[in-house]
Each structure stands twice: as structure tokens, then as C-alpha cells.
Structure 1
Amino acid sequence: MNEPDQGYIFNPADLVEYAMDKPIGAARAALAVALEKADVHVDIVIEALFENMELNQGFLKELSGALRKSPSKVLGGMPNRIKGRQLERDIGL
């Protein structure tokens, strides 16, 4: 009669969704954990959020979708400005 408990499987995207309506301090902490193993640095994501507050919800939804797809390979699903900033960081500019 009872369905077997499937249990909760953590996905870093859960933290991004949590961060969507939180103050920046809580959002920064959640994003730092969510992006711990990702191929994009958390500072680049935080900088993008500060640059355009109006696009935050859409951007965080993109980030959440990319994390759900592959928690360690999110850069491919990010806007070009994020890809560019990550490339600059990778090559030390």
C-alpha cells in the first residue's frame, strides 16, 4: 500500500532557487555552495547579479536550469557575458 520512500536527492539548483528571493547575504552564501563544483566562479555570478537587478530572476532561472542539467558544467548554459568573464578569469585578465 505504501509507496517506497524515494528520498530527497540534493541538486545545487535547489540552492539557486532558494536564493531567488533572499537578501544578498543569504543569496551569496547559497550561490557559493551551489557553484562549489561548477565551471563558473561564484564571484562572476554575483557580479552579474549586481550589474542588472532587473534581470536577476531570469538569470537565476537560467543558472538553476544549467545546474539541474549538469552541476559541474554550467558555463555552456550561461549568457555570453558570463562566459566572457569566466574566460578572462581563467586566463588571468
Structure 2
Amino acid sequence: MCDCVEKIIELLQENCGDNEAKMNGVSFCIGNNNRIQTFMTGSYSFRKKTITGEFYKTKTSGNVVFAFCPFCGKKYNFTKDIKKE
């Protein structure tokens, strides 16, 4: 697993001069060997169309989990240790 997210956040904080600067779309999961892994997520929203072709006023939204790091292109490893008994 890459450490691009941590590097980008560190560079952001360094360039802004604010050690509390954060990046949106960063999530965490506990991976193999109880290590915390960071990965990028995204969100989307759109308006559905009515039968007449007009758009509804309300938006539908959802989230996306990227399979690859958007910075270096390495595949995220979301596998879990499964013990067979």
C-alpha cells in the first residue's frame, strides 16, 4: 500500500503553514495485521429526469471508493485475513 495520502497532506500543511490543514475524501480502514490504511473516496450527485424530460429539483447522491491511488496509480489492498476453522 502506498503512503501518497500522508505525503500529500504533509505537503499541504507545509505549503499552507497550517498544521491542521486537511484534505477531503480521505478515509481509513483497518487492514491486515491491524494496520490503519488510508485511501481516497469520492462523491457524486445528479438530478434525475422526469417522464417529460425535465429535471427533478432534488439531487441523488452517493459515494465511490477508488480501487487505485489517484496520485501514484497503485492498487489499494482491501483484503481481509480470513481464518478457516
Same fold by TM-score greater than 0.5: no
Which structure shows the higher helix fraction?
1
TM bin, normalised by shorter chain, reads: under 0.3
TM-score between the two structures when normalised by the length of structure 1: 0.26
Asked which structure has the greater CA Rg, the reply is 2
Which structure shows the higher strand fraction?
2
TM-score between the two structures when normalised by the length of structure 2: 0.27
